[in-house]
Structure 1
Amino acid sequence: MKIAVSGKGGVGKTTFSALLIRTLDEQGKKVLAIDADPDANLASAVGVPGAEDVVPISDMKELIYERTEAKPGSVGGFFKLNPRVDDLPEALSAKLNNIKLMRLGGVKKGGGGCICPESTMLKALINHVILARDEVVILDMEAGIEHLGRATAMAVDKLIVVVEPGRRSIETAKHIRQLASEIKLSRIAVVGNKIRGDKDKEFLQKNLPDFDFLGFIPYDDALIEADLDGKPPFEKADDAKAVVKGMLDKL
């Protein structure tokens, strides 16, 4: 199963991804977790030992140079568009139980895009983990789907958009669906997060009437306490864990 998770910053996307990953691990599944959001830290949310020391792939200048035959930071010129990446999940991932976790990092770019060694390497890695791996793959993305090309999007089993009760979160969800439609990704589900009661649930359903809701995670002080204590949410939030397990059964 290949699952991509997206949503507006601050809605709890990484917390949801971490709960999903740890629940799958508890069920004995092999999980390859990909942190594709430069502004988040999926490793600490999952509880990977030494999370702060996990180096993003985009910062591994020597590796990028070796695989693409071009210096990171260069734009244009000649470099390999299909660098070897199949060995990287084993070689470079941080590990916890059945979980392997990799951080992609960000590519600093100017203008409207980047044809550079770093982005080429990251896209090749995403293509590999989505198209060729036999683990469960969970991809924690930015508030968009720029890491997915048309070929990888066709292989994603589900794009899950995390939303919270709020206008900006709803607009982001609609924007993500529009982007997804452009690359023929139609298997989209929504997860409502930080739900304080029926009013919040009804607000989301009313404003996203043609979205498929996978479930609703209640507002939980335990999730906030876990963050303050530097603990993975999986170790604190029993209510959220139960809800996420139910979502996995649906998937």
Structure 2
Amino acid sequence: MSNAGGARKGLKIGIAGKGGVGKTLIASTLARLAARSGKFSRVLAIDNDPSLNLGMALGLPLSKIGSPISEMKDLIKERTGVAPGESGPFKLNPKVSDIPDKFAVPGPDGVRLLVLGTIKDPGSGCLCSSNALVRELLYHLVVQRDELVVLDFEAGIESSMGRATSRGLDVLLVVVEPGQKSLQVGEKLAAMAKQLNIKHISAIVNKVSGERESLLVKEQLRAKNIDVMGIIPQSRGAVEADMNGVPLLDTVPGDVIVEAIKRILDNIVDQFYK
């Protein structure tokens, strides 16, 4: 990647969290704000969550999003040598370098979306050639692509990434909300990420109702040695945007949530985009 200040490496940001904490809203808004900032020549958003909502959160109509790579049977057979449902030896390191440019969908603000799909549980009778393609593609996206990549992960990040891939992430953002159950889940995700040797792990606390709650949650996270990258307040604007099926960035661009995510992006760039 290059810009006015000279050549720079890409930046790889993973975002994880249990369903309902708001990680897809954060991932989509972060990607679009990064594209608007002019700091990155290209921004690629990756949907690796089973719900596959990142495209709509970015502002793409459902008809434009397309099928997940993990469900493209012809592509899987072409690259691995074995179609889903077939038995036989398959390539563990299939060619994937051209897939992002062939299958990524252009979205608002110049963000491109690649719907990856998920790694199926190897113990569930999964289609292993599909897993091989998705894992190799994730490695390519995280380790080899020279651009900003924002990955919306499924909660169980260990099923998606091996250690070689996880070491390529610049930062993993674990999204939590106030409340012991969510904080405990966040702690487990952070511990899992440490086992994968992810270099930097930080929490984002979403849906915070006030300064007192913010201070309390930050204190609890730091007591568990979890860094806090940012605090995002509650906002009626997010609820209304979700009900209308329109991105918050398009309906209320000055919303407190958008401003908080801007600050988080600035923090990430300052710390990791050297």
Name the TM-score, length of structure 2 as normaliser: 0.86
Q: Name the structure 2 match of 1:199.
A: 212
Quote how far apart the aligned CAs of 1:114 are.
4.8
8 Å Cα contact 2:120/2:131 also seen in 1: no
2:185 is the counterpart of 1:172? yes
Say which of 131, 148, 152 aligns to 2:165: 152
Give unpaired runs (5+ residues) of structure 2: 1-10, 269-274
Residue by residue over 1:52-72, the C-alpha shift from the partner in whole angstroms, topping out at 9 and shown as x without a partner, is 642111111111011111011
The size of the alignment, in residue pairs, is 250
Say which of 117, 123, 130 aligns to 2:135: 123
Q: Name the structure 2 match of 1:69.
A: 81
- Rounded to whole Å, the distance in 1 between the matches of 2:125 and 2:197 is 21
2:12 is the counterpart of 1:2? yes
2:100 is the counterpart of 1:89? yes
Mapping of 1:37-116 within 5 angstroms?
Answer: 37-50=49-62, 53-74=65-86, 77-96=88-107, 97-109=109-121, 111=123, 114=126, 116=128
Q: Quickly say closer, same or farther: Cα 1:113–1:156, change in 2 above 3 A.
A: farther
- Rounded to whole Å, the distance in 1 between the matches of 2:13 and 2:28 is 13
Quote how far apart the aligned CAs of 1:247 are.
1.2
Name the SS for the 1:217 alignment partner: strand
2:243 is the counterpart of 1:228? yes
Give unpaired runs (5+ residues) of structure 1: none
Q: Which moved more, 1:225-234 or 1:200-209?
A: 200-209
Q: Quickly say closer, same or farther: Cα 1:39–1:198, change in 2 above 3 A.
A: same
Q: Name the structure 1 match of 2:7.
A: none
Quote how far apart the aligned CAs of 1:49 are.
4.1
- Rounded to whole Å, the distance in 1 between the matches of 2:144 and 2:193 is 21
Name the SS for the 1:168 alignment partner: helix
Name the SS for the 1:17 alignment partner: helix
Q: Quickly say closer, same or farther: Cα 1:51–1:248, change in 2 above 3 A.
A: farther
Name the SS for the 1:208 alignment partner: helix
Name the TM-score, length of structure 1 as normaliser: 0.93
- Rounded to whole Å, the distance in 2 between the matches of 1:53 and 1:215 is 30
8 Å Cα contact 2:170/2:199 also seen in 1: no
2:27 is the counterpart of 1:14? no
Higher relative contact order (CA 8 A, sep 6+): 1
Moved over 3 A (4+): 49-53, 106-110, 112-115
- Rounded to whole Å, the distance in 2 between the matches of 1:166 and 1:160 is 18
Mapping of 1:19-38 within 5 angstroms?
Answer: 19-28=29-38, 29=40, 30-38=42-50
- Rounded to whole Å, the distance in 1 between the matches of 2:171 and 2:122 is 31
- Rounded to whole Å, the distance in 2 between the matches of 1:40 and 1:194 is 22
Quote how far apart the aligned CAs of 1:142 are.
1.1
